Amino acid sequence: MSRTAQVVWDDALTSYNFGPSHPMAPVRVELTMALARELGVLDKVELGGCVPATDDELAMVHRPGYIEAVKRVSATGQPDPGAGLGTMDNPAFKGVHEASALIAGASLAAARAVWEGTAEHAVNVAGGLHHAMPAMASGFCVYNDPALAIAWLLRQGARRVAYVDVDVHHGDGVQAAFYDDPRVLTISLHESPRTLFPGTGFPEETGADGTAVNVALPAGCGDAGWLRAFHAIVPPLVHEFAPEILVTQHGCDSHALDPLANLMLSLDGQRAAYAALHRLAHEAAGGRWIAVGGGGYELVQVVPRAWTHLIAEAAGHPVDPATPTPQSWRQFVRDRTGETAPLTMTDGRNPEFTDLSGGYDPADPIDRAVMATRNAVFPLHGLDPMP
């Protein structure tokens, strides 16, 4: 479906590094780009560079005092608890401002490419830092690159932007940035805040005229339930909203192997979600699609394969899930991490689901979560909440 796709990349994006014991290790994006290169996926896209976001650009979302605080931490490496830096989640390190501003700049470059028409789709796998707040680092996130990309699009004159977040954690920072802005539809599918950080993302959080949408799924939800929820919520709302551009966040920590969360998706279920979002970009947003990374803490078995599938989907050349991983990449994984790499690009699952249009089961916790969201927001969009 894609005519042109751009992947924004600079090797310096791996400098966003909270230290050797932190779960958000930059090797995950290094392995992703290596796998995409070895499989020939990067041959199907344009590679674009990036520069750090300027202070003025960061100030589209973040308060100037916070930016200055991050710069002080960056220069000294000393914690600043008031800025959320120096915690277990967000350790202070020298160079944190420069590393964070480069990730933000990469998502701004992706937004610029799509808005100006040099690419139909653009991907920044190093991005997706959706928890950062205007004046506080949070949840491994210092500057909120997806929110900055959306704010930049609005500044250019975009009238409606839809944001869909499939990370296992609630996209709280992006929701907060646009909670009262009817030009931005934010949809987040995540594990219930009753069992997972950040403790927000209940269906009752509906924003301006229902433009904040939250699907809080029960722990243990797998491919069939997750895809059933996705298709019951996301396409109807995005079609009704009719955005000019679709921005999506692709944290792959919804995978069953992820050590920090409790959903049970397979790589194949995640791949089905990427394909659905690609179709939705063409159906509802004129093909304009910006995709960023996000969470994902199974660094070898999950993240590289998931985001290689994402890049391939954006390129319009999906990777056959039965494809073996290249031997050269497996050796690189062993040399780089000491771990054994996966042998193929699939978990061997068939991610089928039953559409909600056939009726819902009030005894099923996934259906209850779906209906809570539909009841909360569908009427605000003139849609019937009943299947």
Active site residues: 131
Cα–Cα nearest to 226, from 265, 192, 262: 265
Q: Tell me the angle at which helices 27-38 and 327-337 cross, rounded to the nearest 10 degrees.
A: 160
Rounded Cα gap, residues 191 and 35, in angstroms: 29
Rounded Cα gap, residues 338 and 193, in angstroms: 35
Residue 164, phi-psi category: left (phi > 0), alpha (psi -120 to 50), beta (remainder) = beta
Rounded Cα gap, residues 367 and 228, in angstroms: 9
Spatial contact of 19 and 26, defined as CB atoms under 8 Å apart:
no
Cα–Cα nearest to 178, from 137, 146, 140: 146
Q: What are the distances in angstroms from CA 103 to CA 18, 51, 128, 173, 362?
A: 14, 9, 9, 16, 43
Helices (H), the chain: 27-38, 55-58, 64-76, 96-116, 145-156, 172-177, 223-241, 267-284, 303-315, 327-337, 365-377
Cα–Cα nearest to 253, from 73, 23, 20: 23
